């Protein structure tokens, strides 16, 4: 079986028990009250057990048959042996709104995302994390992104709750400093809006799982400063492990685009990719220096960016002009965003 066959078969096995109720054929209509409350609870308990088992199998998967190489820079690079993120895996889905040819990453990155999502599924249940673009199968320039060229960048939507505090499928909504957001759906229709809340518990656990995964070699988490602050407060007030909290505080920052609607997550070159031409952007954190020392590898700085390495980027102004008519509430939100889109903000310099 080829490399991808191994991955597909393993995930299929793990996911077989994890079909969401939305994918199952509808149950035959029953008369009201035909199913006792006890039976309904039993059915729900079985579904939870099946999802736990699927997550457990995913976490136990052997990835050693797969190999990939991330070449050059995140912003001017290529990918060899790229692995596709599955469209669905326990606790994870690739966004149905994104181009599925942009879901390739290194083995390390794809494995880490799948395992972090499975851990959230196993420990907290809820709905799948939604993953947006990674890279093309062979890497290279990709529309709408400055980086995402070498299989080590990924955009991840935040876990989200509805106004009752129940998990809701994530959308690319903006979140404000209180953790509130709105899914505006039809931008011109004020009556179809859905109020959202940033799901701190699941989002934090997903990040914690990535940070704790020493083989993943997570480098940076780009996110709006006010959401970073909410995550830090959540972690500290829940006595999360201090090493993880310290690393999160160091490796997260708000870049020039505010990232109040998704994380951009970047991973370091795997040590064995460095000798094949993989190059890291700054910074090199002390814990990563130690990893490289242990592996006998030395990080290489970014290569000069070549002409033609840029993909087409859509500016905010262009996106807003393209969006067409908007109801006044959407306009009000976009104006409020200026508060956190611009420098300066308290506490911490922007990352570059």
Q: How far is the CB of 263 from Zn ion (least distance, A)?
A: 8
Contact between 103 and Zn ion (CB under 5 A)?
no
Q: How far is the CB of 134 from Zn ion (least distance, A)?
A: 9
Residue among 135, 270, 126, 118 at smallest CA distance from 206: 118
Q: Are 269 and 74 in contact (CB under 8 A)?
A: no
Residue among 38, 106, 103 at smallest CA distance from 78: 106
Please work out, in degrees rounded to the nearest 5, the angle formed at the alpha carbon of residue 293 by the alpha carbons of 292 and 295: 65
Q: How far is the CB of 313 from Zn ion (least distance, A)?
A: 11
Q: Are 106 and 68 in contact (CB under 8 A)?
A: yes
Residue among 284, 311, 302 at smallest CA distance from 148: 311
Looking at 90-98, 176-184, 261-269, 329-337, which segment touches Zn ion (CB under 5 A)?
A: 261-269
Q: Parallel, antiparallel, or unpaired: how do β-strands 167-168 and 69-73 relate?
A: unpaired
**Residues in 111-130 that interact with Zn ion by CB under 5 A:** none
C-beta of 228 vs 264, nearer to Zn ion: 264
Look-up: residue for tokens 């895996």? Answer: 89
For residue 51, the tally of other CB atoms under 10 A from its CB is 21
Looking at 39-47, 65-73, 149-157, 205-213, which segment touches Zn ion (CB under 5 A)?
A: 149-157
Q: How far is the CB of 27 from Zn ion (least distance, A)?
A: 40
C-beta of 14 vs 92, nearer to Zn ion: 92
Cis status, amide bond into 250, omega within 30 of 0: no
Looking at 176-184, 236-244, 260-268, 276-284, which segment touches Zn ion (CB under 5 A)?
A: 260-268
Contact between 264 and Zn ion (CB under 5 A)?
yes
SS3 213: coil
C-beta of 131 vs 274, nearer to Zn ion: 131
Q: How far apart are CA 37 and CA 236, in angstroms?
A: 39
Looking at 230-238, 263-271, 321-329, 344-352, which segment touches Zn ion (CB under 5 A)?
A: 263-271
Q: How far is the CB of 155 from Zn ion (least distance, A)?
A: 4
Q: How far apart are CA 349 and CA 225, in angstroms?
A: 10
Looking at 159-167, 257-265, 273-281, 310-318, which segment touches Zn ion (CB under 5 A)?
A: 257-265
Q: How far is the CB of 274 from Zn ion (least distance, A)?
A: 23
Contact between 155 and Zn ion (CB under 5 A)?
yes
Question: By the criterion CB under 5 A, which residues form the site for Zn ion?
Answer: 155, 264
């Amino acid at each position: 079986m080829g490399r991808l066959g191994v991955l597909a078969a393993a995930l299929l096995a793990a996911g077989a028990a994890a079909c969401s109720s939305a994918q199952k054929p509808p149950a035959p209509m029953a008369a009201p009250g035909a199913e006792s409350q006890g039976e309904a609870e039993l059915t729900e308990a079985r579904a939870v057990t099946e999802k736990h088992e699927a997550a457990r199998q995913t976490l136990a998967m052997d990835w050693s048959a797969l190999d990939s190489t991330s070449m050059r820079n995140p912003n001017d690079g290529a990918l060899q042996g790229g692995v596709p993120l599955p469209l669905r895996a326990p606790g994870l889905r690739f966004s149905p709104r994104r181009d599925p040819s942009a879901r390739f990453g290194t083995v390390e990155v794809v494995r880490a995302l799948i395992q972090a999502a499975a851990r959230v599924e196993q420990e907290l249940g809820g709905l799948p994390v939604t993953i947006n673009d990674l890279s093309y199968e062979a890497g290279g320039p990709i529309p709408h992104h400055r980086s995402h060229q070498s299989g080590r960048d990924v955009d991840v939507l935040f876990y989200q709750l509805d106004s009752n505090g129940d998990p809701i499928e994530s959308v690319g909504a903006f979140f404000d400093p209180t953790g509130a957001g709105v899914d505006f759906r039809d931008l011109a229709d004020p009556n179809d809006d859905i109020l959202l809340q940033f799901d701190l518990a699941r989002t934090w656990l997903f990040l914690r799982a990535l940070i704790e995964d020493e083989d993943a070699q997570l480098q940076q988490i780009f996110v709006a400063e006010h959401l970073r602050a909410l995550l830090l407060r959540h972690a500290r007030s829940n006595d999360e492990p201090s090493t993880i909290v310290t690393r999160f505080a160091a490796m997260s920052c708000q870049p020039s685009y505010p990232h109040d609607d998704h994380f951009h997550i970047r991973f370091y070159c795997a040590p064995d990719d460095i000798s094949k031409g993989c190059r890291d952007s700054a910074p090199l954190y002390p814990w990563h220096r130690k990893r490289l020392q242990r592996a006998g590898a030395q990080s290489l700085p970014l290569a000069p960016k070549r002409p033609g390495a840029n993909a087409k980027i859509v500016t905010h102004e262009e996106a807003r002009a393209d969006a067409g008519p908007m109801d006044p509430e959407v306009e009000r939100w976009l104006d409020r965003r200026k508060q956190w889109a611009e420098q300066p903000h308290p506490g911490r310099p922007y990352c570059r």
